[in-house]
């Protein structure tokens, strides 16, 4: 673990209280991290690692006991739609006016560029260093450019709804049949989009923005497309990420079409396994949960997305059981109805299961933090690079402030303090590959003020002006 080579150290972080998430789940009460070439070269007690590396360090930071943990991994996001958030119906859950405006009107490059910019900024400000966008970019290069500008790690791809015609079946409070008909593409076109993103944004390699096989899923792709997608994922050593089990109608239509539950059908299609990541997974049967565990298929739980629309992830979800059985269950913040804050998702999940089931503990803070880091990295095929602070991994990490009330008292065991109290409100500095992309709360790579101006202007022109400023307002807007 403490592999202090003779080479120079680019950055030495000393005297941090470090939650490592390493194999032993060590918490270094007075720890140090030595970073060179973007990777952690040594991590351990400061009296060992700090002392040994200090003479070789180009830059040293004394963290004065600040909390440090691995960068969070948001395993399911739709970045490009971000400019729509906060502009939503308040007295019902029909999102069609917004969905139609965002998905089916001509999608400009600026919607993808600035929506993704806002989303990526908020993730970083809340301690996320890697995320998966499950295909929401209509202009992939514009979205990728924003991610690269902010500097975090991403798995992404073109918006790809699928090629299947499901007839009358539609998602409950998801994308309806009318939009689905507008959004689906022929098989060859879908394969072309996937091949394009995997080729131009290779999954394996040093780059931060990486193409993967991402599709809407939820029964919207033909079996042939799912199989071809998994072949491409294998060829490019990339993950395949799709939605599954959002509304209960998915199970109904699967039973009507195949006489089987959706995961049983995916087992027949032959794509279950550790390369497949299934997002939502709300309405699993016991047998489907067993299939997930046996095949080591990855799951992403999006509690906030479900709660906001009353979909039942906490009422029906088997996530504590999946975790107990050893499954990978990552966390995701999903669409624009949620804040890009992964520890908020963790908090909602922990509280939700405790409240609904009335047993303690259901999911501990430690388990939730594993989900937000290690499980997220596994769900995105990045477990060799991210998810924990260990020698050899990329130096993606978060440093918290100590000058906020939430940061105190400062117990030697900081996990509950982080997960139930401070969460991300004390995030101060975020490193990706040893580079501070957020430093003391400020973005280092671009002008954030200019970005906010552009984002606000675009949102007004795309939604507020065409639909009307008071479209969803319950209280009078006084100019
Ligand atoms: Zn989604």
Distance, CA 102 to ligand 1 centroid (Å)? 14
- Sign of dihedral through CA atoms 246, 74, 327, 378? positive
- 144 and 254 belong to one structural domain: yes
pLDDT tens string 239-297? 999 999 999 988 998 999 899 999 999 999 999 999 999 999 999 999 999 999 999 99
Do both 228 and 317 map to the same domain? yes
Same domain for 156 and 99: yes
Q: Are 279 and 311 in contact (CB under 8 A)?
A: no
- Give the Å distance between the CA of 379 and the centre of ligand 1: 15
Higher model confidence: residue 183 or residue 350?
A: 350
Say how many Å lie between the CA of residue 381 and the centre of ligand 1: 18
Task: Examine the pLDDT at 460 and tell me if it is beyond 80.
Answer: yes
Distance 227 CA to ligand 1 centre (A): 21
| pLDDT in the model for residue 87 | 85
Distance 159 CA to ligand 1 centre (A): 11
Distance 194 CA to ligand 1 centre (A): 18
Domain closes at, from 379, 413, 431 = 379
**Distance from the alpha carbon of residue 313 to the mean position of ligand 1, in angstroms:** 14
* Residue 18: CATH number of its domain: 2.30.40.10
- 367 and 433 in a single domain? The answer is no
How far away, in angstroms, is 334 Cα from ligand 1 center? 5
| Cα–ligand 1 centroid distance for 282 (angstroms) | 13
Residue 33 alpha carbon to ligand 1 centre in Å: 35
Distance from the CA of 261 to the center of ligand 1, in angstroms?
20
Mean pLDDT for the chain overall = 93
Residue 225 included in any domain = yes
User: How remote is the CA of residue 411 from the centroid of ligand 1, in Å?
Assistant: 37
Q: Are residues 407 and 373 located together in one domain of the fold?
A: no
Q: Do 124 and 35 lie in a common domain?
A: no
Centre of ligand 1 to C-alpha 82, Å, is: 12
Interval 209-234: pLDDT, tens: 999 999 998 888 999 999 999 999 99
CA of 133 to the centre of ligand 1 (A): 8
DSSP 461: I
CA of 246 to the centre of ligand 1 (A): 9
CB neighbourhood size of 293 (10 A): 17
User: How confident is the model over 450-476, as a mean pLDDT?
Assistant: 90
Distance 216 CA to ligand 1 centre (A): 8
Does residue 468 belong to any structural domain of this protein?
no
With b for 16 or more beta-carbon neighbours within 10 A and e for fewer, the 105-114 pattern comes to eebeebbbbb
Query: Is there a single domain that holds both residue 62 and residue 79?
Result: no
Which pLDDT tens digit goes with each residue over 71-116? 999 999 999 888 888 888 888 777 777 777 766 667 889 999 999 9
Cα-to-centroid distance, 139 and ligand 1 (Å): 18
DSSP H or E run through 354: helix 342-357
Residue 457 inside a domain? The answer is no
For ligand 1, the distance from its centroid to the CA atom of residue 64, given in whole angstroms, is 39
**Domain match, 312 and 411 both:** no
pLDDT band at 337 (very low <50, low <70, confident <90, very high): confident
Instruction: Give the Å distance between the CA of 273 and the centre of ligand 1.
Output: 20
How far apart are the CA of 280 and the centre of ligand 1, in A? Answer: 8
- Phi, psi for 228 (deg, rounded to 5): -65, -40
Exposure on the CB side of residue 245, measured as CA atoms within 13 A: 27
How large is the C-alpha radius of gyration of the chain? 22
Residue 342 CA, ligand 1 centroid: distance in Å: 15
Q: Which of 340, 355, 379 is the last residue of a domain?
A: 379
- Residue 172 has a pLDDT of 45
User: What are residue 39's DSSP bridge partners?
Assistant: 36, 394
Q: Which pLDDT score is estimated for 5?
A: 53
Query: Cα(350) to centroid of ligand 1, in Å?
Result: 21
* Tally of domains within the chain: 2
Print the domain residue range for 397: 9-70+391-442
Domain assignment present for residue 259? The answer is yes
**Alpha carbon of 335 to ligand 1 centroid (Å):** 6
Cα 78 to ligand 1 centroid, rounded to whole Å: 6
Contact 39, 392 (CB under 8 A): yes
The rounded Å distance from CA 279 to ligand 1 centre is 7
Ligand 1 centroid–CA 156 distance in Å is 13
Distance 250 CA to ligand 1 centre (A): 15
- 103 shares a domain with 24: no
Domain-ending residue, one of 325, 345, 379: 379
CATH number at residue 77: 3.20.20.140
| CA 175 / ligand 1 centre spacing (Å) | 11
Q: What is the pLDDT of residue 176?
A: 63
The DSSP bridge partners found for residue 133 are 77
CA of 136 to the centre of ligand 1 (A): 9
Strand segments (E) across 294-391: 298-301, 329-331
Joined tokens for residue 446? 């671009």
Residue 447 lies in a domain: no
Quote the ligand 1 centre to 60 CA distance (angstroms): 41
pLDDT band at 4, cuts 50/70/90?
Answer: very low
As a whole number, mean pLDDT of residues 27-36 equals 98
Q: Do 283 and 171 have their domain in common? A: yes
Q: Does a structural domain hold residue 293?
A: yes
CA of 41 to the centre of ligand 1 (A): 36
* Cα(29) to centroid(ligand 1), Å: 38
The H or E element that residue 210 is part of is: strand 209-211
Q: What is the pLDDT of residue 296?
A: 98
CA of 134 from ligand 1 middle (Å) equals: 7
Task: Look at residue 177 in the predicted model and tell me its pLDDT.
Answer: 66
Distance 431 CA to ligand 1 centre (A): 27
pTM comes to 0.96
Q: Percent of the chain having pLDDT more than 70?
A: 94
Q: Does residue 294 sit in the same domain as residue 172?
A: yes
Lowest mean pLDDT among 13-22, 99-108, 149-158: 99-108
| Same-domain pairing of 345 and 400 | no
């Amino acid at each position: 673990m403490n592999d202090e080579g003779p080479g120079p150290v680019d950055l030495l972080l000393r005297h941090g209280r470090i939650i490592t998430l390493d194999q032993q789940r060590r918490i270094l009460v007075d720890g140090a991290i030595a970073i060179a070439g973007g990777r952690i070269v040594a991590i351990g007690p400061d009296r060992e690692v700090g002392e040994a590396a200090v003479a070789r360090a180009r830059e040293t930071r004394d963290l004065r006991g600040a909390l440090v943990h691995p960068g969070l991994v948001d395993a399911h996001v739709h970045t490009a739609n971000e400019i729509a958030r906060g502009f939503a119906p308040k007295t019902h859950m029909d999102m069609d006016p917004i969905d139609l405006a965002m998905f089916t009107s001509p999608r400009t490059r600026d919607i993808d560029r600035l929506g993704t910019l806002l989303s990526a900024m908020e993730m970083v400000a809340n301690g996320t260093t890697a995320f998966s966008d499950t295909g929401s970019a209509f202009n992939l290069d514009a979205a990728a450019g924003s991610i690269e500008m902010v500097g975090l790690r991403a798995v992404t791809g073109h918006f790809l709804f699928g090629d299947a015609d499901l007839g009358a079946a539609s998602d409950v409070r998801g994308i309806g049949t009318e939009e689905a008909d507008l959004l689906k593409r022929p098989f060859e076109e879908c394969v072309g989009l996937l091949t394009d993103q995997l080729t131009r944004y290779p999954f394996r390699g040093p780059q931060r923005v990486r193409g993967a096989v991402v599709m809407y899923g939820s029964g919207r792709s033909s079996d042939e497309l799912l199989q071809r997608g998994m072949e491409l994922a294998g060829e490019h050593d990339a993950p395949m990420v799709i939605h599954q089990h959002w509304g209960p109608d998915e199970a109904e239509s699967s039973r009507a079409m195949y006489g089987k539950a959706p995961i049983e059908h995916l087992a027949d299609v032959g794509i279950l396994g550790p390369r497949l990541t299934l997002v939502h997974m709300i309405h699993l049967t016991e047998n489907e949960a067993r299939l997930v565990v046996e095949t080591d298929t990855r799951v992403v739980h999006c509690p906030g997305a479900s709660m906001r629309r009353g979909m039942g992830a906490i009422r029906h979800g088997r996530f504590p059981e999946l975790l107990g059985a050893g499954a990978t269950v990552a966390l995701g913040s999903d669409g624009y109805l949620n804040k890009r804050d992964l520890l908020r998702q963790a908090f909602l999940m922990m509280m939700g299961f405790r409240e609904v089931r009335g047993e303690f503990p259901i999911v501990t803070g430690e388990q939730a933090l594993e989900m937000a880091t290690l499980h997220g990295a596994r769900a995105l095929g990045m477990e060799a690079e991210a998810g924990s602070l260990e020698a050899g991994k990329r130096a993606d990490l978060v440093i918290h402030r100590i000058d906020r009330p939430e940061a105190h008292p400062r117990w030697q065991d900081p996990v509950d303090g982080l997960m139930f109290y401070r969460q991300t409100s004390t995030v101060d500095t975020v490193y990706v590959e040893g580079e501070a992309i957020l430093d003391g709360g400020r973005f280092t790579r671009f002008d954030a003020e200019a970005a906010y101006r552009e984002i606000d202007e675009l949102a007004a022109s795309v939604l507020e002006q065409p639909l009307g400023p008071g479209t969803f307002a319950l209280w009078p807007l006084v100019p």
